[in-house]
């Protein structure tokens, strides 16, 4: 089969699958005395990376539209604090607390998108400012302390449950991640708005001359990314059983890594959610393999950084679409 003769989208998926296959082979070789082959290992890998995958879904849309969002880690902390305050301090029902956290996340995205689209602040600067603001607001709301309560509320425990699927434990985190991935896939591939997202990311000037509402498209992309970060913050809060204003540090880098390793280029206009799902699995399994083989944290960070560099270099070597 001639890879160069394949359509660009199929080629990208093939490269992403190849990366995941290489990681799987490494896991089979360094299996930690068979730990890698246990069903529980794979269930844990999916569970531990479900919320990260949600962040990566939102980041994918922002990157395709030609931007970047460095604030999602701080937004995770802020939405987690909001959720914990409502549920653990005031006993608010999940039907109100979860949407409230998601709305808070979405509003941070709207502000970032407004700065980028209307004030023309560079995405790096705008979201860096939002990163600092959201972190400070989280600390202010929490009074500089983690917010928790024991015994833990039923809602928090419910968000950490798993379904038994033919002997395989599928956590709610994974279910929510898959739902977000499907929603994003539908948005990008089955709606006019998705076509516009790709058009703006590919050539913003041409999109503007074509009459597309470029500013609104950008704001919507950042709003979706922020809302997904808010939802991820709820899941991380449930996972840790506390709202931590210092949580979420470095999560934005993990999300970007998952998108890039999947094959979506930082230049915008290309890529997609299928690639991000594969990138999430690649990074998730790489981390799990390093964990079960007791690789120290410093070495894990170096290896992950090296993998990201290789992924970016591989993108540069791929044939460009005509």
Q: Which residues of 177-186 are buried (b: 16+ CB within 10 A; e: fewer)?
A: bbebbeebbe
Dihedral angle sign, alpha carbons of residues 37, 41, 43, 49: negative
Tokens at 89, concatenated = 């301090």
CATH entry, 44-317, from 3.30.70, 3.30.930, 3.30.420, 1.10.3470: 1.10.3470
Task: Report pLDDT for 309.
Answer: 80
Q: What global pTM score does this model have?
A: 0.93
Q: What is the 3-state secondary structure (H, E, C) of 123-134?
A: HHHHHHHHHHHH
Contact criterion met (CB below 8 Å) for 150 and 159: no
Question: Domain residue spans in the chain?
Answer: 44-317
Q: Which residue has the tokens 């500013």?
A: 215
DSSP string over 25-93: HHHHHS-TTTGGGSHHHHHHHHHHHHHHHHHHHHHHHHHHTT---S-HHHHHHHHHHHHHIIIIIT---
Rounded to an integer, what distance in angstroms lies between the CA atom of residue 66 and that of residue 44?
Answer: 33
Contact criterion met (CB below 8 Å) for 272 and 13: no
Q: Which residues of 276-310 are buried (b: 16+ CB within 10 A; e: fewer)?
A: bbbbbbbbbbbbbbbbbeeeeeeeeeeebeebbee
Rounded to an integer, what distance in angstroms lies between the CA atom of residue 305 and that of residue 68?
Answer: 18
Question: From the centroid of its chain, how far is CA 195?
Answer: 21
Q: Which of 220, 320, 228 is closest to 267 using CA atoms?
A: 320
Task: Report pLDDT for 319.
Answer: 55
* Residue 169 per-residue DSSP state: E
Low-confidence ranges of the chain (pLDDT < 70): 1-7, 314-322
Task: Report pLDDT for 280.
Answer: 96
127: number of Cβ within 10 Å: 32
Task: Report pLDDT for 10.
Answer: 79
What is the length of the chain?
Answer: 322
Q: What is the pLDDT of residues 86-138, one digit of tens each?
A: 999 989 998 999 999 999 999 999 999 999 999 999 999 999 999 999 999 99
267: number of Cβ within 10 Å: 13
Helices of type H across the chain: 8-29, 39-64, 72-84, 94-117, 123-142, 154-158, 172-189, 192-202, 204-209, 214-240, 251-262, 273-292, 297-317
């Amino acid at each position: 089969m001639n890879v160069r003769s394949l359509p660009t989208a199929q080629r990208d998926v093939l490269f992403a699958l190849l990366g995941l296959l290489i990681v799987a082979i490494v896991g089979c070789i360094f299996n930690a005395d068979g730990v890698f082959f246990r069903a529980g290992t794979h269930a844990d890998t999916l569970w531990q990376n479900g919320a990260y995958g949600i962040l990566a879904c939102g980041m994918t849309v922002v990157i395709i539209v030609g931007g970047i969002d460095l604030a999602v880690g701080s937004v995770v902390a802020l939405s987690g604090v909001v959720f914990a305050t409502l549920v653990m301090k005031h006993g608010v029902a999940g039907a109100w607390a979860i949407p409230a956290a998601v709305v808070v996340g979405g509003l941070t995205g709207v502000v970032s998108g407004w700065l980028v689209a209307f004030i023309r602040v560079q995405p790096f600067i705008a979201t860096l400012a939002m990163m600092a603001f959201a972190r400070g607001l989280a600390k202010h709301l929490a009074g500089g302390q983690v917010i928790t309560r024991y015994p833990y509320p039923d809602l928090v425990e419910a968000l950490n449950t798993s379904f038994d699927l033919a002997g395989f434990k599928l956590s709610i985190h994974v279910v929510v991640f898959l739902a977000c991935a499907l929603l994003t896939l539908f948005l990008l591939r089955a709606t006019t708005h998705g076509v516009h997202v790709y058009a703006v990311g590919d050539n913003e000037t041409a999109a503007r001359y074509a009459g597309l509402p470029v500013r609104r498209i950008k704001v919507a992309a950042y709003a979706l990314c922020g809302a997904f970060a808010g939802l991820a913050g709820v899941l991380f809060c449930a996972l840790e059983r506390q709202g931590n204003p210092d949580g979420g540090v470095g999560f934005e880098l993990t999300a970007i890594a998952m998108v890039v390793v999947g094959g979506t280029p930082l230049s915008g206009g290309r890529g997609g959610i299928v690639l991000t799902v594969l990138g999430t699995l690649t990074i998730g399994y790489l981390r799990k393999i390093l964990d079960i083989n007791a690789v120290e944290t410093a070495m894990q960070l170096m290896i992950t950084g090296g993998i990201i560099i290789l992924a970016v270099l591989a993108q540069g070597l791929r044939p460009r679409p005509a």
